[in-house]
Structure 1
Amino acid sequence: MPNQINVSFFTLPVELVYRILDHQSDYTIVCSMRNVCQRFNSIVDSYHRYQTLTTLDLAFGEIGDVGAQHLASGLRDNTTVTALHLYRNQIGDVGIQHLADTLQYNTTITTLDLDFNRAGHLGAQNLRDALRHNTILTTLNLKGNQIGNVGAQHLSDGLRYNTALTALNLYRNLIGDIGVRHIGAILRYNTTLATLNLGNNQIGNVGAQYLSDGLQYNEALIALDLCANHIKDIGSQHLGVALRHNTTLTNLNLDSNQIGDAGAQHLSDALRHNPILTTLDLCGNEIGDVGTQQLSDGLRHNTALATLDLGYNRIGNIGAQHLSDGLQHNKTLTALFLANNQIENVGAKHLSDGLQHNTTLIFISLQMNLMSEDAKHAINEFTERNQRMIKS
């Protein structure tokens, strides 16, 4: 019988193992090549690709709960990965539990993206436990999950003790007013969260009041996204109260909230007194000429707002005239979005007249209005003039 040569994977030369690793995915290396034996751990740890693996992007990987379990095990002692992207991977509460357990021990991951998975309130509960102990994670994305109001309560409990997280995305999570009550309460005490996305969460005027109560005491939040909710005019009134007292919020997105002319008036009152807010998005809010007049009055006295989005509203020629009056006195606005309104050439002429005396506006969006290209060109001449003045 001819001599047989027994070759074991565990005795292969290091360089040959490196070449094998060259043909493996990042997921395989992290999940399957470590924790096999001490020798393999040593080899993988010295492998250049593993040493420089800082972003692990497994988007659309469909790894599910079982894959999340393997991943969590591989990352438990990992010291290179700082960003983990698991967008659309069909990970449910069980998989979230494994990842959350790892977060309590991992010392390098700062960004966790779980957008569009299947996390429910139990998954949020496990993340709460991780947030209580983790001191490294700064960004948590849970967009498009289903944590609901109970899950919002769990995460709020976690934030009560967390001193690291600066960005939390909860867009489209069925949170509602009840869930926002818990988030608003934690905003009173949290001192690190700077960016919060609560868009498309069925938040009404009651929820807006809860947020307003928290914002009046909060000294950390910089950006708040409430797009595609049901804030309406009463909710805008509550938020207006918060803007009068808050001293940190610079970016507020109220896109598609049906605030109408009455809501615009409440926000205008706040703009008169707020010296901090620099970006306000009121796109798609059924604001007409009356509401535009109110906002223009606010612009006369405001000393901070740099970007105002009034696109997809109901602003006509009279509203454009009111904006013109506001622009003549405003000295901070640099970008104004008016796309898809009802401004005709007459309204465009009003805007041109106002911009003659304005030296700060450098961008204006006018697409899908009822004015001619010549009218748009006349307006753009003034914004281009302002651009040249700034550069000179």
Structure 2
Amino acid sequence: MNPRHFKWILPAVLIVVLFFGCGRRPGEKLYYDALAQWDDGNLVRARTLLEKSIRRRTGSTENADAYNRLGLLLWEMGELKDAVPAFNESLRIDSDQYPVLCNLGVALSATQDFTGAERAFREAALLEPDNPQPLAFAGVVYAQNGKWQDAARNLSKALRRTPNDPQLQTAMALAELQTRGPEAAIQRLRTVTRQKPDYAPALFNLGSICRYQARNPAEAKVWFERYLKQSSGIDAFSAFARTQLQALQEPATAPKLSYTPPKTRDRKTAQTYFGQAVTLHRAGKTAEAIQQYIRAVEADDSYERAFYNLGLAYYSAGKMELAGEAFTRAVQLNPAYVEARYNLALVDHYHLGRTTQAVRELETVLSQKPDYQPAIDLLTRIRQ
């Protein structure tokens, strides 16, 4: 070849390479650039590139994967409602995608569309007939939102695929606790512990159900002791179990909040006692502080702050029933007292085994103050 021709051939080759992107299909470079930006934490830039890539590849089956990734990216960005259409578009291109159906189910449940979530999980279950996870996901979603009949139905179907799964059996027991009563739940959990004696969630839930639903303190003590042998000992569940064991050693009759209501309310005197109580409380003199808080409410039994602080003092002293009563009185006096209601939920869940009541109180708190982070965090922990 005449060397002079290279000056024409080389520019032509470069033009072709630039135009077609080194052999890549339209939008492919944008797609991989988007993934790189995502890996680097540049979520907004990643979204822009990914959406541009999808437009460049309109009509391509490769967009099924791109839309799924877009849905996951939007989820990570907290834009849940936008994630749902992305997953749906991925499934429109290719309906036989098990992971995308599961992603769609989770996204729909997060937007409170439980019927749509169940439908997505059921379609996923049809694609993998031996896999219990989709039906289990549906059951857990319903359980987290208090729809126990629906939870039991889906968990039951999941158990047909893997009947000896201790996690599923435990979840089913909690659903049965709500739909069939404590005896059914206890029977199922006992079966789990026979098959897997060291399965801590079953041991813990047996202790809680025997203690509070079945009213069988002797059996509750056995299960809590077995649970503590298996647990790390440093988590909130272990603390709860130890508290329950301590309570089971105490007299069966729970103490009652006792004070003498005034004939005539005197807020000024009550505030004097309250100030003295706060000083004692801050100094770590809890017993003396409790006495002064009681004097404050005996001077004015409409003094909600005094009842709230009395609850905090009882909590510090480890007297959870009395703390719960004091917080309850504060809430009765002022239903919008979110701190008192939150602390009541805290005592109910971690120390008195009244998780259903705790959830109800937390939901009320969030209806009054949607951004109250302690309530958001506690409700998340309970549902997990």
TM range (shorter): 0.3 to 0.5
Higher-helix-fraction structure: 2
TM-score, normalised relative to structure 1: 0.35
Using CA pairs below 8 Å that are at least 6 residues apart, which structure has the higher relative contact order? Answer: 1
- The structure where strand makes up a greater share of residues is 1
